[in-house]
Structure formats: C-alpha cells, structure tokens
C-alpha cells in the first residue's frame, strides 16, 4: 500500500497538462454557474434572518424570516445553554468565575421581559429558567460547589422548558414564513408556481428535520421531498454569495446529469458513489475487533 501511495503521488506520472485542464474546467464551471443563476426566473434564499427574493440573479426583495418573539425566546434559552457550556467539565476553581460573568446578563434579560415580544402566558416560564440560572451561579460560588453530576441533573430538569420555548419559537417563525410565502405565491404566474426554487441556509446539526425544509416539503409536495429539485439545503452557508453559488451549482449540476447520464440528480451525489458500492465489498477491510 505504501508503494501504491508513493507511485500515485509521484508528480512525474501525472498527465501533462492535466492540472491546467482541471483548473480550466473549474473556471468554466464558475462562469456557467453565474449564467445558471441568471437563468432562474424565480428563487428564494432563506437566510438566517431574512428571506431574499431572487429574479434572474437579482435580489428584488428582502423580507424578515424571524420574529421578535423567536429572538427573545432564543435569548432566554441561550442563557441556560451558555451556563451549561461554560460549566461543562470546568475545574472547580475556575467554574465559579466563569459563571459569575453571566450574572449581569441574567439580570438584564429578566428586566426586559415585561417589554419583550414574549407573550405574557410564556413569561412565567422564562422567569423560572432565569431563577434556575441564578441557582447554578450561586451554587458554583458556594462551599457546596458544582459536580458534573449536579450540573447534568440541573440541565435535565430544565429540558422540558427549553423544548417549550422551542415550540413557541417555531410557531412564531412558521406563522411568519407562511404569511410571507402566501403573499409571494399570490403574485406568481402559474409557471413560477411550478418552478421556483428555495435555497435554505442552515447548520450541519440542524439538517435533519430543518424547519424550513419541512415547511417546503408540505408546500411543494412529494416530489420536492423525493429529489429536492426545488428545495436546496445550504449546509453551513450563512452569507448571500454562498447561497447564490449553491443555487448556481444546483442548476448546473442537474443540467450536466441530464445531458450525460439521463438523470438530473446524478451529479447531486458523489460521482464515485455507485462505483464505491461495487468495489468496497471486494476489498479486504481491516478488522477493528480482535
């Protein structure tokens, strides 16, 4: 295997002009991707805080995609999660100092609850969460101190309240998204209704069951779920240019797949994937168990 690796890596055995050809392909692909974006009649970029309307490569509208209620509930929840992270596996002498830094934030957040967008029916839960935050901070500086077991038990008790915050935050966001998309659809032509694409920006950890992707699955129907032709997940992409690039790649790769392989989705998975399924069973894979 060492000999094979060395031979494969020997620059003298590379195709003459191969690197230049590869670089030229990348340049041509980038240019074609730009053309692809410009050819899309209507698309939406669902960014972390905004919904951008894109027509033939030009952003024509920027709409809010999160609400003040969503943001406020997230802020309170992040106090609790921040305290857990700050205390996780931190030695006793340092944890008290780390958590004490959160005290002003806890008080500021609670002081603003009455004027926040959080409905009155949900504010009591927020106050209980902030009381629990104080309990953790105070215990860290007491003689009892904090053990990881105690911290984990503290966190487990707060889990249901955090999930309730997530429920109400999701409700608030989905109601806004549905309102915005309903308004957009009312202005679309029949052709646009059947062809618009949505690029969803999101974190790697949130890919499964992403809120936007679920909503689009319901809006666009079964075909959107089966091949994601009209909904595109932009994993770990948080800027507009990155979302635009992915939109261009989505359109360009589907064109390549259809032209060469009579399958518009072929380039949207690893080009070596089918071959790997056949080759891996023939390899002598090392055993991990004794």
pLDDT in tens, 159-169: 999 999 999 99
Scan for tokens 């999660």, then name that residue: 81
Does any domain span residue 144? yes
Give how far Cα 264 sits from Cα of 59, 229, 250, 253, Å: 26, 9, 10, 8
Are residues 214 and 264 located together in one domain of the fold? Answer: yes
* 56 three-state secondary structure: coil
Distance CA 91, CA 21 (A): 55
Closest CA to 253 of 26, 91, 29: 29
Are residues 137 and 96 located together in one domain of the fold? Answer: yes
How many domains does the chain divide into?
2
Are residues 100 and 122 located together in one domain of the fold? Answer: yes
Long-range interactions of 146-154: CB distance < 8 A, separation 24+: 146/87, 146/92, 146/95, 148/88, 148/89, 151/84, 151/87, 151/88
Model confidence pLDDT, tens digit, residues 197-244:
999 999 887 777 899 999 999 999 887 777 778 999 999 999 999 999
Closest CA to 117 of 182, 62, 64: 64
Please check the confidence at residue 5 and state whether its pLDDT lies above 80.
Answer: no
Closest CA to 263 of 275, 274, 253: 253
Buried b (16+ CB within 10 A) or exposed e, 106-138: beebbeebeebebeeebbebbeebbebbeebbe
User: Are 162 and 156 spatial neighbours (Cβ–Cβ below 8 Å)?
Assistant: no
Query: Which phi and psi (to 5°) does residue 209 adopt?
Result: 60, 30
Are residues 233 and 161 located together in one domain of the fold? Answer: no
Distance CA 288, CA 290 (A): 7
DSSP code, position 280:
G
Tokens of 250: 């989505």
Does any domain span residue 40? yes
Q: Share the mean pLDDT of the chain.
A: 90
Does any domain span residue 119? yes
Residues 6+ apart with CB under 8 A from 247: 36, 37, 40, 43, 45, 54, 197, 199, 232
Buried b (16+ CB within 10 A) or exposed e, 233-252: bbeebeebebbbbbbbbbbb
Are residues 72 and 165 located together in one domain of the fold? Answer: yes
Does any domain span residue 281? no
* 247 three-state secondary structure: helix
Does any domain span residue 287? no
Are residues 122 and 55 located together in one domain of the fold? Answer: no
Does any domain span residue 141? yes
Give how far Cα 182 sits from Cα of 123, 186, 188, 215, Å: 30, 6, 10, 12
Does any domain span residue 16? no
Model confidence pLDDT, tens digit, residues 75-99:
999 999 999 999 999 887 788 888 9
Check residue 3 and give its pLDDT: 42
Model confidence pLDDT, tens digit, residues 94-115:
888 889 988 999 999 999 999 9
Question: pTM of the entire structure?
Answer: 0.86
Q: Are strands 50-55 and 58-64 parallel, antiparallel or unpaired?
A: antiparallel
The average pLDDT across 167-192 equals 96
Does any domain span residue 245? yes
Distance CA 263, CA 230 (A): 16
Q: Which domain holds residue 146?
A: 68-169
């Amino acid at each position: 295997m060492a000999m094979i690796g060395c031979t494969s890596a020997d620059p003298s055995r590379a195709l003459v002009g191969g690197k230049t050809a590869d670089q030229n392909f990348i340049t041509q692909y980038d240019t074609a991707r730009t053309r692809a974006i410009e050819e899309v009649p209507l698309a939406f970029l669902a960014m972390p805080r905004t919904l951008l309307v894109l027509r033939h490569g030009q952003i024509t509208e920027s709409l809010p995609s999160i609400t003040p209620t969503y943001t406020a509930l997230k802020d309170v929840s992040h106090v609790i999660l921040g305290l857990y992270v700050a205390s996780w596996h931190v030695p006793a002498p340092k944890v008290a100092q780390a958590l004490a830094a959160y005290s002003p934030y806890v008080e500021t957040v609670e002081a603003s609850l009455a004027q926040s967008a959080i409905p009155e029916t949900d504010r009591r839960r927020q106050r209980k969460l902030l009381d629990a935050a104080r309990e953790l901070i105070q215990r860290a500086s007491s003689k009892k101190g904090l053990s990881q077991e105690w911290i984990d038990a503290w966190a487990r008790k707060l889990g249901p309240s955090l999930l309730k915050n997530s429920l109400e935050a999701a409700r608030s966001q989905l109601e806004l998204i549905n309102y915005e998309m309903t308004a957009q659809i009312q202005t679309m032509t029949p052709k646009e209704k059947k062809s618009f694409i949505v690029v969803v920006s999101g974190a790697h950890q949130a890919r499964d069951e992403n809120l936007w992707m679920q909503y689009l699955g319901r809006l666009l129907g079964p075909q959107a779920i089966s091949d994601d032709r009209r909904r595109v997940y932009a994993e770990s992409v948080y800027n507009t240019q990155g979302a635009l690039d992915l939109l261009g790649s989505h359109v360009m790769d589907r064109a390549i797949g259809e032209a060469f392989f009579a399958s518009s989705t072929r380039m949207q998975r690893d080009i070596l994937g089918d071959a790997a399924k056949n080759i891996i069973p023939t390899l002598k894979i090392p055993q991990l168990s004794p």
